[in-house]
Chains A and B, each alone.
Chain A
Amino acid sequence: MKYRIFVKGLWENNAVFKQVLGMCPVLAVTTSAINGIAMGVASTVVLVCSNMVVSLIKNIIPSKVRIPTYIVVIAAFVTIIDLLMNAYFHDIHKVLGLFVPLIVVNCMILGRAESFASKNNLSNSIMDGLGVGIGFTMALFLLGSIREILGNGSIFNFYILSENFEPAVIMILPPGAFITLGFLLFLVNYIDDIGKHKE
């Protein structure tokens, strides 16, 4: 049961490919694979923590003020992550810049709090947070690697393509983000359709 919640988060509830939520960081920070992973991990930590707290306090929040409460809970964890990253991973914090505090308004996190954590018990909420968070991280990693390989010829700063490869700089510039994600969403549609035919 718990395992199933986790797996569901990876693909069926995938924030990027299925629900198309939290697009701002997805497009902005995926100029390289490592940035994508860093952003994904930061969002996952916030998501798991906020899911945990929301599920613990779900019975004492009046339903009228639940959304502001969720936002305050999320904002508190984002502040913690922001300060921790600034202290221990200063370089990557500088690269992600504005998008670390902006995790607050990532609709994925608020979405999971509202649609899952507020209705389920603690352990299920943690599993859901982990699943959705890791799914989000994988999507960011995928997008980041594609853009880094095509735009820079490298992955994790290792140059894997031959000298003759002329990097397409456009891929690490803003338009590349939109175009890559467009093609990935096309692939998701295609894979889903094949799955349906098999059933």
Chain B
Amino acid sequence: MSFLFLFISAVLVNNFVLNRFLGICPFFGVSKKLDTALGMTFAVIFVMTIASIITWLIQYTILEPFDLAYLQTIVYILVIASLVQLVEMIIEKVSPVLYNNLGIFLPLITTNCAILGVALLNIQYNFSFFEMFVFSFGSAVGFGLALVLFSSIREKIELADVPYYFKGLPIAFITAGILALAFMGFTGLIKIG
């Protein structure tokens, strides 16, 4: 499968949030304002790509040769948690501007199931290194796309006259449902196994 197809399918067809339901917590948590959504998007793209590369390398250089594949879950979550800490420290040193923009979102990413999800999917689909890279990056971009679209809609909803009991999360969920419906239009675009 060509890399372009893989990328498009990860971004649009099998969108992480709207089709696979990964990363729902930040999707609803930080989507109230467009600015924070953008910050979260960049933090996720950054961490997701790096975490996938590292977990993929660990899987094929340590876990499989030593027959430790059953430790996958524990190892991955530890890698992701410490990676997030490390990335936070490095960014703080290298680029204080970026740190100020991403700062608060980095710790939140540890519990973002999209990160662990993409790491596990990479192994499940038996991806080669470059396929893994394209898929992880595409998934992160797809997550960002959904998050930015959704937060723009939510900013508008703030101004609308929503029935009292629907205010807040109920209307947000229904909006997400309609957005997911729109994304289903991409289903026929590409078929991925």
Cross-interface CB contact of A28 among B21, B169, B170, cutoff 8 Å: B21
A residues contacting B by CB (< 8 A) are 20-21, 23-24, 27-28, 68, 71-72, 75-76, 78-79, 82-83, 98, 101-102, 104-107, 110, 170, 173-179, 181-183, 185-186, 189-190, 193
A11 to chain B, nearest CB (A): 17
Cross-interface CB contact of B78 among A72, A83, A177, cutoff 8 Å: A72
Assembly CA distance A179 to B18 (angstroms): 12
Cross-interface CB contact of A182 among B18, B23, B121, B171, cutoff 8 Å: B171
- Sample of 4 further A-B pairs with CB below 8 A, known A23-B21, A175-B180: A104-B77, A105-B77, A177-B21, A186-B166
Assembly CA distance A175 to B178 (angstroms): 7
- Say whether B184 faces chain A, with CB atoms less than 8 Å apart: yes
CB pair B170–A102 under 8 Å, yes or no, is no
Provide the B55-86 mask, 1 if CB < 8 A to any CB of A, else 0: 00000000000000011111001100100000
CB pair B22–A104 under 8 Å, yes or no, is no
In the complex, residue of chain B having the shortest beta-carbon distance to the beta carbon of A102: B113
Cross-interface CB contact of B121 among A20, A27, A98, A107, cutoff 8 Å: A98
A36 to chain B, nearest CB (A): 13
Assembly CA distance A183 to B169 (angstroms): 10
Cross-interface CB contact of A75 among B20, B73, B121, B173, cutoff 8 Å: B73
B residues contacting A by CB (< 8 A) are 18-25, 28, 70-74, 77-78, 81, 110-113, 116-117, 120-121, 124, 165-166, 169-174, 176-178, 180-181, 184
Dominant SS among interface residues on chain B: helix
Which 4 A-B residue pairs are closest in the complex by CB-CB distance? A178-B177, A182-B173, A179-B177, A182-B174
CB pair B73–A101 under 8 Å, yes or no, is yes
CB pair B184–A98 under 8 Å, yes or no, is no
CB pair A185–B116 under 8 Å, yes or no, is no
* Residues of chain B contacted by A106 (CB below 8 angstroms): 113
CB pair A178–B176 under 8 Å, yes or no, is yes
In the complex, residue of chain B having the shortest beta-carbon distance to the beta carbon of A103: B73
* Residues of chain A contacted by B117 (CB below 8 angstroms): 98, 102
Assembly CA distance A107 to B29 (angstroms): 12
* Residues of chain A contacted by B73 (CB below 8 angstroms): 75, 78-79, 82, 101, 104
* Residues of chain B contacted by A189 (CB below 8 angstroms): 165-166, 170
A194 to chain B, nearest CB (A): 10
* Residues of chain A contacted by B120 (CB below 8 angstroms): 98, 101-102
Cross-interface CB contact of A174 among B23, B25, B180, cutoff 8 Å: B180
B4 to chain A, nearest CB (A): 24
Assembly CA distance A119 to B163 (angstroms): 40
A16 to chain B, nearest CB (A): 11
B186 to chain A, nearest CB (A): 12
In the complex, residue of chain B having the shortest beta-carbon distance to the beta carbon of A106: B113
* Residues of chain B contacted by A20 (CB below 8 angstroms): 28, 169
